[in-house]
Each structure stands twice: as structure tokens, then as C-alpha cells.
Amino acid sequence: MKVGVIADIHSNQTAFRACVDYMVNAGCEEFLLLGDFISDTAGARQTMELLYELMEQFPCHVLRGNREEYMIEQRKIREKEEEEKFWLANSASGNLLYTYRQLTERDLDFFESLPITFRYEKEGYPAFTCCHGSPVNTRELLQLDSDRTKEVLEEIDTDYLLAAHTHFPGISRYQGKTYMNTGSCGIAIGDPGYAHAIILESGQNEWKPEFLRIPYDSNQVILDIFTSGLYDMAPWFLNNNLHILLTGTDLTPELVNLAAKLQEENDMGAKRWPHIEEKYFAQAADSLKIPDYTFLRYIRPAVKEDTGKILELYHSMIGGAAGWNEYYPGIDTIESDLSRNALFVMENEDGELLASISIDADEAVDSLKCWNQTLLPGAELARLCIRKEYQNKKLARMMMAYAMNVLRKQGKRSVHILVHEGHEVAMRAYMHLGYEKVGECSLYDMRFVCMERAL
């Protein structure tokens, strides 16, 4: 028998849907859903609908996480009219307010009806203790192998403990007992573009976990954050969430704590959370190197009508370090990229084309011997181009992140890039994004450095 375990969806309906589809296909007959269904990305409503649908179709065992508790608490605050504790449209609480507004009374009643822990038992197999944080507290972080985790394993009356909340998947053992953490379905740490979850398969008197890493359409999740209005309700908090979705690096506690500290230092503690001014979030994000991702909303697949503007952008780079000239890249390159849906552009509100990037299809590059053969299939990203006045605004990083998400969705496992020999700025930028130099080559009468990274 197979059981699907999903936790920390965080309103990411796209990742949730990808996990459910995978698990149903894999033959899962029951589901364990371990809390933090909502907040942090845009799809709270859709996530709840999908959850209810799943509960109608399969036996589901559901508990609540800290996010659901925040929502229950806010309803009580509003009932008691404790206005100073109402969530506001700012980076301290706008993300929660957006989520709260997407929920119905039925959702909140449902959250209130959920336990924070339960025992999952199937005849003939060992029982599980399930929870979001710990069996006594939804906000407790049970890291693998920590002393607290060992203590909890000693306290429970089952041989298995299943939890989430840390967003770090894994397994550890202590005195004959096993602890498993599902990781996060919607906002995985350290693994952008993938949803983490577990399938438990019953063996002879034991449960065997399969830790899943499922690709989903992360660019859609990012776009939804902008088009839903969520981004504008909590810009710096969302820049932080976009940073996790794009890079896997989670700086949430650092950002929130630093912004609160700056507010306290400057206003002598006069104002309390969530009354934190946006400028302190901006300062905190700046010192933590969390970029302003506003421009991400302008990236989209290119269409035929963009051809003239793209050509003009290419021509503005002639004579630069990439070694481009009036013939390459030209209109035929653009047409070929468009015919493969492999060209992406960033265009601002004024219709100005700021950047472009392509997924190349070049056998001469694919067949180079330097690429890591254990990371196939790979794909080549090429012709990354940022309008001169917009350089040093992290647009290159955003274009790369977007294109890498497209490749993940296509099932690619690595990215290849050729950098024109001597283009030191590009080399350094790619190395900063995790690319490694794996070889050199001569193609089209030019020398290139070959760079690669796993997806």
C-alpha cells in the first residue's frame, strides 16, 4: 500500500497539483496532509478547493500547521475588535492579510476542527505519530538529529514520527525509532522549482519512504504573485519569498527580525508589530542582499511582434565582450528561436524591451565532451542580453532564473552556457549563479569557455 504525504504547501496550488497528480499516478490510496496549506504565495483559495476535492476522493488524514493557527487567531482578534492587532497591507503582515481575505468562514471553521497531531495506524504495519512542528506545538522546529527530536522520539508511543515545518526533508534514526521530515511542497528550501513530498510504501512490518522531488511550473507561481496583487500588499516580504522560489535561499527570519530591530532602534519602540514601516524592510533586505524583484513581472515568452525590438537590442550590443556583430545574432536566429518557443523577453510597462534570453538548440554544442554525462538531459541557454541602461539591476539573474524554471519544467537536469573567451564579467556573473567552468572549445571561429550547472 502507498500513502502520499504532503506538507507546507503555502498556497502553491501549482506545486500541490503536481504532487497530487504524481502520487495518484504512482498508486497512492491515502493521503497524510500535515499543515501549512496556505499563505506566502498567491493560491490560497485554489489550494483550499484542491484540498477539499482530494478529501472527497481519497481517505485523507489532515492536521493544522502554524499558518492555519495564525488565521484562527486573526479571526478571534477581529471578533474582539482588537484593532491594533489587525493585519495591515505592509511587508510585516500583508502576506497574511491577503491570505485571510481569500479564506471563507468554512475554511476557518475547518482549520479550527483540525488536530495538531494524530496517530496513523494501518493493520499489520507500525503506527506513525504525525504532526506539523512537534506533537505539542505547531511552531516547534524538529531538525533531523537534533536533541529535541531525540527527546520527542523518546516521548511518543510509536516507532515512527512524521513532521514538517522545517522545509528540510530527510530521515534520521534514534534508538530504534525513525523520524521523517517531508520537506516543503510549495516553498522548498535549497531546491528551486521542485516540490518536496514523501510516498510511504508498506513493506513487511515497516514503512519505506520515497523522498520526492517533483518539478512544477514555478514561473506560473511567480507570475501569480504579481497578477493577484499579493506582491503589492507586502513587497519586501514577497521579494524574500521570490528569492526562496528562485534561489532556494531562505532569509525569512533574518529579514523579519532585522526590520523589527531597525524599527525599534529608530522609533524607540513606540510602534509594535505589525506596524513596521516599509523603509525598514527595504533596509533589512538590502543588507541581506535580497533583490528587488519588481522586474520579474515583466518577463514573458517572446512573440513574432517582438522581432524588431529584439533585433534592435541585439544590435545595441555590437562591439561588446560577447563578440556579436551585424550578422549574428540576426533575424534568422530570432525566427528559429521563436519557432521553438525558446525565446523570452522582459518588457516594461512602457513597452521598452529590457532583456532577452534564448534556449538554444545546437548539436555542435550539445555534443561537446566536457558536459557532465550524469546530468543529462541538459540544455543550452544563450544570447542573454540586458539593455545597457538597465545593467546592474539583477535583471540577468532574473532572466536566468526564469529560463532555468522553463528547463526544469521540461525535465532537463543541467544547463550549459558558452561564454566568449575573455568575457570576464559574464564568467564571474555565471559563477556567482552556481555555474562551473567545465572546459573550453572552438566553434564558429571563436574560442569559448564551457560552463555548466545542475538544475
Shortest gap between Cβ of 234 and Fe ion (angstroms)? 18
Of 66, 158, 249, 252, which one interacts with Fe ion (CB under 5 A)?
66
**36 touches Fe ion (CB under 5 A):** yes
Q: Which stretch binds Fe ion (CB under 5 A): 32-40, 108-116, 142-150, 401-409?
A: 32-40
The two beta strands, 436-443 and 446-454, are antiparallel
For residues 66 and 372, which CB has a smaller minimum distance to Fe ion in the complex? 66
Q: Which residue intervals of 248-385 are DSSP H helices?
A: 252-267, 278-287, 307-315, 331-339, 363-366
Shortest gap between Cβ of 69 and Fe ion (angstroms)? 9
Shortest gap between Cβ of 19 and Fe ion (angstroms)? 17
Residues 6+ apart with CB under 8 A from 355: 299, 313, 345, 346, 384, 385, 386, 387, 390, 395, 396, 399
Q: Which stretch binds Fe ion (CB under 5 A): 85-93, 159-167, 175-183, 371-379?
A: 159-167
Query: What distance in Å separates the CA atoms of residue 292 and residue 38, rounded to the nearest whole number?
Result: 24
Q: Which stretch binds Fe ion (CB under 5 A): 57-65, 175-183, 253-261, 320-328?
A: 57-65
For residues 115 and 229, which CB has a smaller minimum distance to Fe ion in the complex? 115
Shortest gap between Cβ of 182 and Fe ion (angstroms)? 11
The 10 Å Cβ neighbour count of residue 113 is 9
Nine-digit cell at 436?
A: 562551473
Give, as one character, the DSSP assignment of residue 320: S
**165 touches Fe ion (CB under 5 A):** yes
Backbone angles phi, psi at 211, to 5 degrees: -80, 120
Shortest gap between Cβ of 351 and Fe ion (angstroms)? 42
Which secondary-structure segment (H or E) carries 19?
helix 13-25
Q: Which stretch binds Fe ion (CB under 5 A): 65-73, 184-192, 193-201, 288-296?
A: 65-73
Largest interatomic CA distance in the chain: 74
CA separation, residue 353 to residues 127, 168, 403 (Å):
58, 39, 17
Q: Which stretch binds Fe ion (CB under 5 A): 157-165, 238-246, 300-308, 397-405?
A: 157-165
Cα angle: 160, vertex 166, 169; to 5 degrees: 60
**65 touches Fe ion (CB under 5 A):** yes
For residues 13 and 181, which CB has a smaller minimum distance to Fe ion in the complex? 181
Q: Which stretch binds Fe ion (CB under 5 A): 60-68, 217-225, 306-314, 404-412?
A: 60-68
Q: Binding residues for Fe ion, how many (CB under 5 A)?
A: 4
Q: Which stretch binds Fe ion (CB under 5 A): 29-37, 82-90, 151-159, 440-448?
A: 29-37
**137 touches Fe ion (CB under 5 A):** no
Backbone angles phi, psi at 438, to 5 degrees: -115, -5
Shortest gap between Cβ of 8 and Fe ion (angstroms)? 6
For residues 126 and 190, which CB has a smaller minimum distance to Fe ion in the complex? 190
Burial of 13 (0-12, 13-18, 19+ CB in 10 A): buried
The 10 Å Cβ neighbour count of residue 439 is 13
SS (H, E, C) 370-389: CCCHHHCCEEEEEEEEECHH
Binding mask 240-269 for Fe ion (x = CB under 5 A): ------------------------------
**10 touches Fe ion (CB under 5 A):** no
For residues 181 and 333, which CB has a smaller minimum distance to Fe ion in the complex? 181
Query: What distance in Å separates the CA atoms of residue 257 and residue 75, rounded to the nearest whole number?
Result: 25
**64 touches Fe ion (CB under 5 A):** no
Shortest gap between Cβ of 81 and Fe ion (angstroms)? 28
For residues 165 and 243, which CB has a smaller minimum distance to Fe ion in the complex? 165
Shortest gap between Cβ of 36 and Fe ion (angstroms)? 4
Interface with Fe ion (CB under 5 A): 36, 65-66, 165
